[in-house]
Structure 1
């Protein structure tokens, strides 16, 4: 109880006590005291009352209680719904509709030991994924419909291609490459931007001259099919800062009609993203010696050298061609 409420209760009790005392004091006075306290004339003579007759109302008998209502002669039948017997088979739960997302990838062998890889992933529109093939990997992106079509140089006769999304979903496909033995391939791969460039100098070609094959003069597979020289394939999404990239040089060693030598060099550009740090890359080569893989670690110059290039001339052995 609050303090204010205690104060209110105490005050009320006191007022009641005072009132009771007053009435008790007034009721304690004798009739004589009351008479002497009232002034006035003398009392008149008493009046005699005679012929008093006592009357009373006749006795009223008590009301009779109502008779109980008789039950109907026909007994009342209580009806209940019949129980439905349980069966062993419970009703099947209705399956909620869901959006099916099938990942479909196909690989088709093409000319010059190239493979057309098509991917359909309706649940992955405009999404990055990594394409893996025999140690080579690069980043690609699906279109608005979740589809992608890529043309990839094969690195194995039993070629396996894997598309892997960041959420763990993906697809796999295979292709048999019967003509791969006619071609030699040289790969450099790295992460992030236009950093590495693979240069092939065919038959003593000078930089920028005929027979110098690189990203700015990549040629195409028609040249290889005719036995005239090689071509370069760039793989990976160029607009991704941390995307995986690769360049592949293909030379038709088994179809050339001219003897000669192909020299190689790899250039690494110094950028603000790799200056003053180690830059990691990898090389892959196919040919008579099988698959040869090398890890590359470059100690890049300090950031005052942004825009300069490191030149690697011994990453690949010269390719010597004997005419067929």
Structure 2
């Protein structure tokens, strides 16, 4: 089989969860994505909402079995030597649809070919094959090295958040929303007396707007003393879906160049968005009036091509204190509307 070599790598990725404008919840998933020739393979599948089999929240034994399967050290789970490359982020049911491919050895190399969208036991390449992807040939040492490294050092992905603030009711609603989408959350006034091992399990700390700088500095020092690398979030407003979006962004530790959504800014008349690959983007506007009532409006929901885009906003809906949240399947950003 004569094919040019593609590089193979792995990188952390997320399926961004959140509280949607219609009140629904979208589950947060951390997973390891496949990086082919320096770019996430998932991005070549346009707007697919899916995760790889190497998800952080599956039991260790199943995670190990998935790695061995990709190394062809176990029988293929599907007919025709096919393996699941990306599956449903909400469940593991093939009926929801999955991207599958044949994985085989060619000498010391590994080859991924015949990519298809599959919902039944047998893939129909004529009807559902991905003709623009593959075959992909990977050097054996590079391929095995990347996957076996996961077994040698599978660092637990931290998906816990510490919430610091004075508005207990808002913090309680925020914690409940985070837990609903699969992110652990605790409420505290400070980190005094918290064991170092527990501090290291947090991926982010979210501050309410009334938390003073001395309290923030003391908490940062507590985490720094134990060598905990956490992201700090300054809450834009006591609006739960907005705060969830900020925390989702903070938990995304993937390199910026490997994210789909890389820029968001807004004025009273427009939102400016930058995406790195073709994807569906949803933009939601949140406005808080003088009585602290929250008004929510879905202002955009469509597929965008790579590049910068300007989304018109109705100035009448952005008066006063307002914010926008832009969301793709793997990225989310929040920004204040600047007047």
TM-score normalized by the length of structure 2: 0.24
